Structure 1
Amino acid sequence: MNNTVKFKADFPLLGKPMGNNPLVYLDNGATTQKPGEVIKAITEYYDSFNANPHRGAYELSIKATDIYENARIKTQQFINAKYSHEIIFTKNATESLNLVAYSYGLSHVGAGDEVLIAISEHHSNLVPWQYVCQMKGATLKYIYLEEDHNLSQRDIEEKITEKTKVVAVAQVSNVLGLINPVKEIVERAHKAGAVVVVDGSQSVPHMAVDVQDMDADFFVFSGHKMLSPMGIGVLYGKEALLNDMPPFLMGGDMIDYVEEQHTDYAPLPAKFEAGTQNVGGAAGLSAAIDYLNRVGFEYIEKQEKELTKYAISRMKEMDYIELYGCDSSRDNKTGIVTFNVKDVHPHDVSTIMDAHGVAIRAGHHCAQPLMIYLKQNATCRASFYFYNSKEDVDKFIEALSKVRGVLGLGA
């Protein structure tokens, strides 16, 4: 049994058919499938340990607290944060980014300041900064792209200035699948006195991440893109910055002491975790980290790069396929292949391929400014994970080759 077959067997949904076809799941950039042990961890929590953490002096509550806080420690180690209290649990990367924008952005960005983001950002790392700039009278600026779709080196060098207060950028583009030069951006931003917010949603599931080495001020990701359930996300922030920020949400468990006219907030991380938290999600995230650590990022990166290279080579044989961010062999390419089929709307491509059991993404991928920049209304996206195989790529290519014929356009 090869590794791919072994791993696929761990994922219940990957063994289920789609209509009359076996499922070929290639929308991992949107969300990954869940291995049995992650599902088991969630079920076990609700079966055996369900209680509100941090609130009870009885055994179930203590156990729920242990599960929740152990997940925090495991997450700290997973991305190599300095302290576990620098890990804030949210419901997803979107909430994490909004927390930073509202709590840090609104209190540290003022009139005449500048916020710099990449044109390729997901809406979750774009719209909150639009709002901050509109509310505070600041200017939102963009790092645009080179002809090869990498971030413009000139923009990085020239647009980070003494006016820049925040730089927000994804470590990996969710559309182009290109790894951005985050460490260089962080270094330049810090020299200018700016803080850097890094969206790791498309990097953390696919490569080893060290936030201390990166020196990011804030780093966010979602659990559901890395095998764990939906509804659990992570915000990492440097201790000094988090301590200097006001709470994002008010309520239970984020307080130290409340009087009629005054409240003392709890220390980190509780200050940013108001209300009852998703302990079942944290249990699933913990199990997902264990699973990924066993697979190993060396294998994950190798498998995804091989599949991506193979898929691109097959697609380049089709003269009716237009590729984006796949112009040449490059070291900063991850397992995302974005493309269009000549004369066919991406939604039709996705629907036809779905009839053959192949699941891909079609649309603007929550990155409409990038679509406008690329002069496209929408694109198709196939995104691989370590449990995908060369046979999956072959089925993808076979289904793709039939799209134009279905619509009477010829091969």
Structure 2
Amino acid sequence: MRTIRIGAGAGFADDRVEPAVELAERGDLDYLVFECLAERTIALAQLDRLRDPAAGFTEWLPERMAAVLPACARRGTKIITNMGAANPLRAADVVAEVAREAGLTGLTIAAVTGDDVLDLVARDENTVSANAYLGCEPVVRALAQGADVVVTGRIADPSLFLAPLVHEFGWAMDDWPRLGRGLCLGHLLECAGQVTGGYFADPGHKDVPDLAHLGFPLAEAAEDGTFAVTKVAGTGGMVTVATCTEQLLYEVHDPAAYVSADVTADFSAVELTPIGPDRVLVTGATGRPRPDGLKVSVGYLDGFLGEGEISYAGPNAVARGRLALDILRARLDADELRFDLIGVDAVRRGPKVVAEPPEVRVRVAGRTSTVDAARRIGREVSALWLNGPAGGAGATRRAEPIVAIDSTFVDRSDVHAELSFVEV
């Protein structure tokens, strides 16, 4: 049975570059996928684009493309990425520029647009973005038209991986069982290093070898939708039933109904079988018809965040930190304020600590309606240098707009994806 190999080059915007290079050079891949958009990423990118019309794509796009394009072009590996964020058209031009600088020719770069649905969403002056989660179809169309690199904005994360399966194997867009299996592949690979031991390691309980050189995953997929998850030999990390299980359940509310733009996947009968070192066979996924609507992430400005931190160390550090917090409580007034003593109660509010930590860090953060009020929070923390307990050091402060996210749905018939091409 024919198989193809798909690698995960990134699991979020700031991910490492070196594992993607390893995949491009030694993974024997047909496709290399970079998934780089979290929930708020496009809203933040839209703000960048408002400040500069040539911006709005993932900042590491040029570096990543420069690192992998030569090897991918040489080996015939196609690249799919959502690093276009709020500006896929400009991102495609950037990829073309990188290719030309590398002396590459004969490449076709496709940009997928149409996920921006701000005109379909009720909004006010604080709304900055509204992006629908497209499915795999526009990427499949781009590949069918000869694209070597496909740059998108918001597309459902696993759909980036589903697209080459549909294209290569000719799956029908209503073949729900196969689409469900393909979505399972995409879900396991979309967070890259999370399935090879990243975000999994817990020393003494779940030990992972050589995390400093973590290898990213690849999947070898068959035409029937079964696949094996593995990684490049000799790279750090591991692929086991346990790592795959954690990623399979990651962000899944109902394993029997994992709803996406392409299919309602059912992971409830998935079986994970080790079939070799760092190699797990995945079977049993299926699917049902996709929903009529498309999820939309709406980004909006929701006030300002003010934050300040300062450290206290040595004997009586906790008491001095608590005194600093008491001072700040007396002097600050904001809509929402949070006071933390990092090292004591910032994460877990519980009984008084038994052992005195050697150092603590005071943190206060608050939501305000104006940037001036947000700046005052950090300023009051900085003022503790000379107006607070003894021994304060390392004060930091910041004030910035809060970009919040809400979700809604639109009818998929109202959303129209378009393709644009750049030739190199």
Give the number of the structure with larger relative contact order, counting CA–CA contacts within 8 Å between residues 6 or more apart. 1
More strand by share: 2
When normalised by structure 1's length, the TM-score is 0.31
**Higher helix fraction: Structure 1 or Structure 2?**
1
TM-score (norm 2): 0.30
Q: Which has the larger radius of gyration?
A: 2
